[in-house]
Amino acid sequence: GNERAAALFGSFSSAVALPASQIAEVAGVPFFELGALGDAVTERGFRWAFRASPRATAIAATALAGVTEVLAPGLGIPAEALKLAIAHEEAPGGQSVGAAQEAMIRARGLTLVERVAYASRAADLNAVVQRLRGLDAQVVLHTGAPGDEALLFRAFRDAHWRPRMV
């Protein structure tokens, strides 16, 4: 028969959500994103794209609030004195969060020592951690794929180093 989807629900990944929402838009079928972070999923002016999860900019703002409203006051130092680093997966979601974090850090006059992107499905994050350790990063804002946190903390352990906040 002539069957047609009433709606599409997806996807977890911005790399999937971006083309899927475009196809849904052309077909006039509502696309509800349930987990992809990339701001562009719902900011391209599409009539049929909707979001049920926070977007990258909101996630970045929450992370920065943790640094400025919780960590810095808890340590009794100004947030501007903290050395911040951003580490993210190269995929669209990670890029989107990293770009938003960088823009917010610069707009607030905070200190960004590095923004480093790493390959999707990386085998380890040792090089990233060694780089951030060498820059004496005190806060690492991390956005990655599921499982990347284990790689990150394994790399911290192997380097015998951990920043004040991740």
- Distance separating alpha carbons of residues 45 and 52, to the nearest angstrom: 17
Residue 1's pLDDT is 62
DSSP string, 11-66: -S-HHHHHHHHHHHHHHT--EEESS---GGGT-S--SSEEESS--HHHHHHHHHHI
Q: What is the mean pLDDT of each run of 10 residues along the chain (166 residues)?
A: 85 91 96 91 94 93 97 96 97 94 97 97 95 97 93 97 95
- Residue 11: what are its φ and ψ, rounded to 5°? -140, -25
- Distance separating alpha carbons of residues 46 and 102, to the nearest angstrom: 27
Residue 159's pLDDT is 97
Residue 87's pLDDT is 98
